[in-house]
Amino acid sequence: MSSDCIFCKILQGEIPSTEVYSDETFYAFRDINPGAPTHILVIPREHIPAITDAGEEHAELLGQMLLRANAIAREEGLPENGFRYVLNCGEWGGQTVFHIHLHILGGRPLGWPPG
């Protein structure tokens, strides 16, 4: 955990969130500033600042994060019409919280290009 990370503070219960899923490895919650009708963030409990900081030792964690996101998307009814995963990296990539997080966006048509 990082003492100055907003997502670590959410994990520690210091900042409220709307929980969608929780287990010993991941926590998922609704984005407070949603970019789509369904906007959920999936975060690992381990603090990893950016996807480029992940190493070989995180391969299973990252794979499990995608599988957990798939289950959440199904529970939210998103696969029927389609949805998007977003994983931002670095300031120019749109990352504003430096704790790996996977966005699940759906519930409306999503344009391309995204940015």
Residue by residue, DSSP assigns 13-35 as TSS---EEEE-SSEEEEE-SS-S
User: Rounded to an integer, what is the distance from CA 112 to the centroid of its chain?
Assistant: 20
Rounded to an integer, what distance in angstroms lies between the CA atom of residue 41 and that of residue 63?
16
Does residue 14 belong to any structural domain of this protein?
yes
Q: pLDDT of 16-53, one tens digit each?
A: 999 999 999 999 999 999 999 999 999 999 999 999 99
Does residue 31 belong to any structural domain of this protein?
yes
Determine the straight-line distance between the first and last CA of the chain, rounded to whole angstroms. Answer: 30
For the chain, how many structural domains are there in total? 1
User: Rounded to an integer, what is the distance from CA 49 to the centroid of its chain?
Assistant: 13
Does residue 65 belong to any structural domain of this protein?
yes
Please give the model's pTM, rounded to 2 decimal places.
Answer: 0.95
Lay out the sheet containing 102-106: strands in order across: 19-22, 26-30, 38-44, 102-106, 83-86
Does residue 114 belong to any structural domain of this protein?
no
What CATH number should be reported for the domain holding residue 58? 3.30.428.10
Q: Which residues are catalytic, by number?
A: 101
Domain that holds residue 99: 6-106
Query: What is the reported pLDDT for 1?
Result: 76
